[in-house]
Structure formats: C-alpha cells, structure tokens
Amino acid sequence: MAKHVSQTYQTAPVRLGDLIAEHKLLWAYCTTCGRERDLDPATIPLPQDYPVPDVGKRMKCSTCGSKKIETRPELYPGGIFAMRERWRGMPECGSA
Ligand SMILES: [Zn+2]
C-alpha cells in the first residue's frame, strides 16, 4: 500500500522536528506579561512530532509564571545559525 505522505503533510501543523530539520527557531511569547524569547527547538524536551502550537501549553513563563504561552515558528533571518551567533555574544544570565 502506497502512502500519500505529501497529502497528510499539508494538513498537519508544523512540528518540532520540522523546525529542527529546517534550522528554524521556536518563538515563545507570554500573553500575560509580554515577554518573548527565541528557543532552540532541539533543546525542548518534547517529542519531535509534537505540534509547534501545542508546545506553549507545556511551557511556563520564567518571568511571571504564567502558562499562557504562545509558540510559533520563528522567522528570524538566517535561522538558528544567525541566532546562535548572537547568543554567543551575549552575557550569561546566571540563575535569572
Ligand atoms: Zn510572563
């Protein structure tokens, strides 16, 4: 039985594994306090077939503790490589 992979792919949401494969970042936004952050999807402890919009439901804001987090694929120019360069130049935040 042949599977029509492309058909199911079109209706499926973007998944964590898609971001990792395409070297894209995960954008997380706290709808309570407005804090936003770009995350490396490879560091998120969820299955790679986890839908990106649902990742936010498993997250908690480190600033205000809210669980109302929105997550989307980040459209940062240059993707994760450009962002890693930026991270490298940033000071460590310590326990904050
Ligand atoms: Zn917050």
- Give me the pLDDT at residue 2, please: 53
- Give me the pLDDT at residue 82, please: 85
Ligand 1 mean position to 70 CA, how many Å?
Answer: 11
The low-confidence residues of the chain, meaning pLDDT below 50, are 95-96
pTM across the whole model:
0.73
Ligand 1 mean position to 20 CA, how many Å?
Answer: 25
Ligand 1 mean position to 62 CA, how many Å?
Answer: 7
Ligand 1 mean position to 67 CA, how many Å?
Answer: 8
- Give me the pLDDT at residue 23, please: 92
Q: 82: which residues sit within 8 A by CB, 6+ positions away?
A: 76
The rounded distance, in Å, linking the Cα atoms of 22 and 63 is: 29
Ligand 1 mean position to 32 CA, how many Å?
Answer: 5
